[in-house]
Amino acid sequence: MAASVESRRFTTVNGVVRFPPMIKPPLPSPNLDDSDSSSSDDEENDYVSTLRALVHKSNAELEPSILDARDDGTSDSWVYRNASMVRLTGKHPFNAEAPLPRLMHHGFITPVPLHYVRNHGPVPKSHWEDWTIEITGLVNKPVRLTMEGLVREFPSREFPVTLVCAGNRRREQNMVRQSIGFNWGSAGVSTSVWRGVPLRHVLRRCGIMSRGKGALHVWFEGEEDLPGGGGSKYGTSIKREVAMDPSRDIILAYMQNGEVLKPDHGYPWRVIMPGFIGGRMVKWLRKIVVSSKECDSHYHYKDNRVLPSHVDAELANEEGWWYKPEYIINELNNSVITTPCHEEILPINSWTTQRPYTFERLCILRRWKESDTCCDNIGQWINLAGVRVEPSRKAKQIWKVLVLVLLVIGGGGA
């Protein structure tokens, strides 16, 4: 279920205003989706309270972000970041994930400073008051919208969404066979409470044309200038029916965990698509184009593809494998056992064999079936429990299993 959260007051942290001072926080918007019309006020209030409590809990034991010395001499030297983030591509650009134990420690909602970051280049310096989004192409009323106009004129939705990088756990893949991607660990996944304007309402206001008139794809283009393809913007696209589907909950987001987006996460606006990989959720959004064709950006075709094992980058370029639609990645099912952690040693003695040990598994975009890990010749697990908030298709799931060490010693397998 998605729900709006009532407005809050925001303060200043590290010199960054948590809500732009030139406008007031938007008031809660009426829910315009038929799918939610039967929800009672009490249910919605409970949902809002639960989200607030989860965000508050996730921010506990979190140190302030800093101007990291590792960014000195780069175009990102002005961006505040958490010093514990594991950097994956050297000094610049910034691509990072949280240490996996820390990600698990903070629970269902990831604190913004620990949310994984995938940047292809420098972080744009953006200003709310002069930022606009152009909507053009196969629409009857092309328009350039201001930030204040988007917030004031359209309803907002707020709900938890899990973002996962298409390269999550690529380090293990590269150990078997080197790919052209860098070594993501298992923490390229994070869940936040996102607030934004439904994309379909914006497209309707602009008069998106019908499929019969060629309106088949919706493009998104970011602000940054990147080297790919000889120089281009970061861009991608989705099908029209996906963009206009109310069950998809695609939003143009401007808040994350109750705060205005941070620079690394797309301030002032980014796309959020529940159920899609992070590579489709364009940050620093500048342009939306309705077209008869897929986006022609270098990054739409040369990123986020899985090709057959016999196809290397050279063959893909020669034979046009990048452009075959069957090899695009839009969704990612992924999971990892987080406890026991890598190289953890479990002592076997009279104390540990009489007490349960907790196995934890982080699952992305799917449920964990008991049959996945059940002990074959011992019987069932002692207990199986998931997170208490139903994450549905929008979020990660953290599962725990308690198993007696004595059962494992006795011959059961996990």
Q: What is the DSSP track for 243-260?
A: HT-GGG--EEEEEETTEE
Class of domain 12-327: alpha beta
User: Which among 171, 157, 204 has a CA at the least distance from the CA of 47?
Assistant: 157
Residue with tokens 């309270």: 49
Torsion sign, CA atoms 21, 22, 26, 27: positive
% of the chain residues with pLDDT over 70: 77
Q: How confident is the model at residue 22 (pLDDT cuts 50, 70, 90)?
A: very low
Amino acid residing at 99 = P
- Residue 273 main-chain phi, psi, to 5 deg: -125, 95
User: Which among 212, 238, 198, 235 has a CA at the least distance from the CA of 138?
Assistant: 212
- Mean pLDDT for the stretch of residues 251-277: 96
User: Which among 284, 332, 242, 346 has a CA at the least distance from the CA of 79?
Assistant: 284
Does the pLDDT of residue 119 top 50, yes or no?
yes
Which pTM value belongs to this model?
0.79
Planar angle of CA 368, 173, 88, nearest 5 degrees: 100
How many whole angstroms separate alpha carbon 391 and alpha carbon 183?
A: 28
State how far the alpha carbon of 179 is from the alpha carbons of 173, 174, 186, 297, in Å: 8, 6, 17, 21
pLDDT of residue 352: 76
Segment among 36-45, 224-233, 343-352, 387-396 with least mean pLDDT: 387-396
pLDDT of residue 116: 97
Specify the length of the chain in residues.
Answer: 414
pLDDT of residue 6: 31
Segment among 40-44, 164-168, 199-203, 277-281 with least mean pLDDT: 40-44
Residues designated as active site: 165, 303-304
How many whole angstroms separate alpha carbon 286 and alpha carbon 235?
A: 10
Does the pLDDT of residue 394 top 90, yes or no?
no
Q: Before 340, cis peptide (omega within 30)? A: yes
Does the pLDDT of residue 262 top 60, yes or no?
yes
Mean pLDDT rounded to a whole number for the chain: 80
Query: Is the distance from CB of 182 to CB of 173 less than 8 angstroms?
Result: no
pLDDT of residue 408: 42
**Helix (H) / strand (E) containing 289:** strand 285-291
Query: Is the distance from CB of 242 to CB of 248 less than 8 angstroms?
Result: yes
For residue 305, give the DSSP letter.
B
pLDDT of residue 140: 98
Within 10 A of 348 (CB to CB), how many other CB atoms are there? 12
